[in-house]
Structure 1
């Protein structure tokens, strides 16, 4: 019998102790680095324990030590200073009263987004190696056989940390690809899967490129994938996961580009595992894109649909999870489907729409649904 494996997108809720340390560093305050490291080790151990307890097969470190999935690079690479302009997604601008409510209720996370003002170069892999060690020790302690670690794609860095140094967007992407290469290779060399977070392939359509046509945006997205594939030149495709999304926030999402438009771009990424949203109400119907364009899905790709939502506190029924999975096993076969989440549960340190305990309940429902679907194969 084929058993459908389980995973998620990467980030998980952080403890207040971890959040306090991260923001002390973010604000440039003095803090005890040994105590910081100890807190991260302790938190990753607990994060992995809870994933295993919930039934997750392919675990992560929860992105515990990072301020966010994209802007963490400012702490590990040179060339960033000042502040980037904030640009609300186009859908929120259409509903200004809702945007005001989000801001008033603390629904917009506060963290530094510096500009690229100089040459981007790695400061070394020391912080990454600590993350890797924490994850591997926790996996060994709790019996997790397979793990993955997130890394920002060149395109998503260019979305949140905008260019004020390189002569063009293309030059900036090329520099980012060259700089990030060692990070990607280090993760895979450690025996972990590498997950590239690529919301730039969809989210940036209604953030940075709202004035373009869909066709013009798709050409930009293709250039982002080309930069990413260049950075992955020395990384085996079988070890790579790519995640695409339209923004991990509860909102109208009426400006989201259709999956059908970016589908060919996603298929060009040098990645075996493709993670995407299929649970939220704006994209749940788009499983039919994969059904109708099955011939365009390379035979070596594994689909990792999001079968639980990450912006609401509803805990999905396992039967619903199973039904969502069966849509995709019916397209590519059960051996090429893994159960995932729409996005992360802790995209930004100290910020998350889903209660931490409910996040793990959702992972438990994900695992229960995967077992149901596996039993029915």
Structure 2
């Protein structure tokens, strides 16, 4: 596959994974909908438009070059599909990540302190079909209006991958997991195409390519899991068929939570899987202490990075309230610049700052301070 390199880059651009802290007004509306409590749809829509405008304004002020809507209207990056597609009902079984099970006192502390979000995860109990693109079109309109109002020239919209939907909304309808993935790919294709047709970049969130190893498939060997991940990529690439790769971003992660992460499958084993996605932009974690060393994987396998792939390493963490020093951000970026060149590196975050509505480890004001440090560090690295 041929990729188009963005030769207009005069400095290292900045972005993030997508989700950002939501206001209390937004959270209240989202959970009213989640709990099937009465609310006025027109007031909901006005609140989302207002919140997205403020979110984009803050991103621009922080120096972020490629902005998002912060996933403002969504309950979470994966389970929002239950509100936009048919076939979901009931509840899926919960399964804590394997690393937290190894430290039960810490897992209990997280649960007792409200450190784990509570929201519906229905099973797939019927045919998955789209209810239409109306809610997505509202999200797109809100983001584009906010970008115009605050001078942002480039934006992206998040969407769930077939694999991550199958991770959180488990199958109780299709005969096989592969059939479920295929149905999800067919259903999600129109969502992906709608985002790209609007002029925005499409970001696919794919923690299924790493997190699910120690959350759902911890009974498999690494080699067996790689086959599962390859199936997920095959389904995703099918859904992306016909969409230009230069309009697509993919994000891989091991779970956006502070924890031991001692069960994470190494990037060295997931490298080929990540490269196989039909996306030009690759977003991945390199800030947290469990994966900060894995920049070396890209160095050692530089010859295996397809020409034109653009690396978007996470150079600020999203699970602690430390604000990274811009010099540290610049140092992290420099490692990747040395591997593929400055025109193929964009500064990003490890994960989102508001993965679930109303839940986040990082204080909202500190989240934007981190994005400011990200922009300062990218400016330093560009010099």
**Is the TM-score greater than 0.5?**
yes
Q: Distance in 2 between matches of 1:105 and 1:368?
A: 34
Report how many residues are paired. 375
Query: Which of 151, 154, 159 is the matching residue for 1:151?
Result: 159
What displacement does 1:300 show?
1.6
TM-score normalised over the length of structure 1: 0.99
Q: How does 1:264-279 map to 2 (within 5 A)?
A: 264-279=272-287
Correspondence for 1:70: 78
What displacement does 1:2 show?
3.2
Correspondence for 1:360: 368
Query: Which of 206, 213, 216 is the matching residue for 1:205?
Result: 213
SS at match of 1:72: helix
TM-score normalised over the length of structure 2: 0.98
1:132-183 Cα deviation digits (max 9, x unpaired): 0000000000000000000000000000000000000000000000000000
Q: Distance in 2 between matches of 1:338 and 1:180?
A: 27
Q: Distance in 1 between matches of 2:128 and 2:115?
A: 31
1:323-357 Cα deviation digits (max 9, x unpaired): 00000000000000000000000000000000000
What displacement does 1:319 show?
0.0
Correspondence for 1:301: 309
SS at match of 1:107: coil
Matched, 1:312 2:307: no
Q: How does 1:233-248 map to 2 (within 5 A)?
A: 233-248=241-256
Gaps in structure 2 of 5+ consecutive residues: 1-8
What displacement does 1:289 show?
0.2
Q: Distance in 2 between matches of 1:137 and 1:370?
A: 27
SS at match of 1:151: strand
Correspondence for 1:49: 57
Superposed CA RMSD: 0.5
Gaps in structure 1 of 5+ consecutive residues: none
Q: Distance in 2 between matches of 1:370 and 1:258?
A: 26
Correspondence for 2:6: none
What displacement does 1:234 show?
1.8
Matched, 1:15 2:26: no
Correspondence for 1:286: 294
Correspondence for 2:144: 136
